[in-house]
């Protein structure tokens, strides 16, 4: 499990927590270079893994992060099948020799282009994030399960792992994302309300919340996010509050336990068996309804 490079999700505290549980966090691009370098060095001093997000032009920053010990560099872009992202992937791989994660992509052609450029992993998902409006604004995107399967068909031929990024809101989504060909899932929304996410708890009407915003939202763009391009444009994200969720460990355990139970139903003892044994079926509206709890006046 990977925590997303969003400025309401992953900074030093989240990255440490993720690594301690066996996952990895990706420090977001809106962090100052100084803060990010300090975080990388501290995390490495603890003997943990960490990745850091960069833009396609951030060559000096990329070199500093890699020298500081970052285990991977993630080229953060909403549109990964772009000549600038291909060039940046090739530069990071050839000039630094760093592990490079490229994306976001959603098609076999995009996967081929970035793998050829040297990508060590692919970040998959266009427009499926909880705070993303790309499909509404730009009219572009691929349903997430389809995108994962399309990209995994290509990536698996080269042994390149797939990071399923977006549309995860419950354990079942993790099971299906990995069964469709994902090697890991990247989480933003589910982690934003946890203790380890940046920002203070907001109290409203007797309930606790934390801020969450897409990196294409108005305030994230104003703060310096270039994930959706460097020129002024219509925002491709929203912002707001999400319910407070407590320690991130509890969220991760909830997801992992659900994954284990799903694997048990399929008869899979590892993720490779899950991918090989899982079978997908179409759900009618009636089938979807019967898949959910129903009939309660008060649900506990």
Determine how many CB atoms are found less than 10 A away from the CB of residue 39. 23
Distance from C-alpha of 77 to C-alpha of 165, rounded to nearest angstrom: 12
The whole-angstrom separation of Cα 163 and Cα 284 is 28
Report the alpha-carbon angle 4-259-22, nearest 5: 50
What does the alpha-carbon distance between residue 163 and residue 122 come to, in Å, rounded to a whole number? 6
Which residues form the catalytic set? 132, 227
Tell whether the torsion through CA atoms of 217, 107, 186 and 63 is positive or negative: negative
User: Residue 153 region, left (φ>0) first, then alpha (ψ -120 to 50), else beta?
Assistant: alpha
Which residues have a Cβ under 8 Å from the Cβ of 118 and sit 6 or more positions away? 89, 90, 92, 93, 94, 100
The tokens describing 35, both together, are 């803060």
How many beta carbons lie within 10 A of that of residue 233, not counting itself?
12
- Dist. CA 132–CA 48, nearest whole Å: 30
Q: Is the torsion defined by CA of 25, 178, 263, 157 positive or negative? A: negative
CB atoms within 10 A of CB 266: 16
């Amino acid at each position: 499990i990977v925590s997303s490079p969003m400025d309401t999700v992953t900074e030093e505290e989240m990255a440490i927590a993720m690594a301690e549980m066996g996952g990895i966090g990706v420090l977001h691009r809106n962090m100052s270079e100084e803060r990010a370098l300090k975080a990388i060095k501290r995390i490495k001093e603890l003997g943990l893994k960490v990745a850091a997000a960069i833009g396609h032009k951030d060559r000096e920053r990329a070199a500093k992060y890699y020298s500081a010990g970052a285990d991977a560099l993630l080229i953060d872009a909403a549109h990964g099948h772009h000549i600038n992202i291909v060039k940046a992937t090739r530069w990071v791989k050839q000039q630094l020799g760093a592990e490079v994660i490229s994306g976001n992509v959603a098609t076999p052609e995009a996967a081929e282009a970035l793998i050829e450029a040297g990508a060590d992993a692919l970040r998959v998902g266009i427009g499926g994030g909880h705070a993303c409006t790309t499909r509404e604004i730009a009219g572009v995107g691929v349903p997430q399960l389809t995108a994962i399967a399309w990209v995994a068909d290509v990536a698996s031929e080269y042994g390149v792992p797939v990071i399923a990024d977006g549309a995860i809101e419950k354990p079942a989504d993790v099971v299906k994302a990995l069964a469709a060909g994902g090697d890991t899932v990247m989480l933003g929304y589910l982690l934003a309300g946890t203790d380890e996410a940046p920002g203070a708890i907001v109290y409203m009407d007797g309930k606790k919340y934390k801020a969450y915003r897409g990196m294409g939202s108005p305030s994230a763009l104003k703060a310096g996010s270039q994930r959706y391009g460097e020129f002024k444009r219509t925002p491709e994200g929203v912002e707001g509050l999400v319910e407070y969720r407590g320690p991130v460990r509890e969220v991760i355990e909830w997801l992992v336990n659900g994954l284990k139970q799903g694997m048990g139903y399929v008869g899979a003892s590892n993720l490779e068996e899950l991918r090989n044994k899982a079978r997908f079926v179409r759900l009618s509206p009636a089938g979807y309804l019967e898949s959910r709890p129903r009939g309660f006046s008060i649900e506990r």
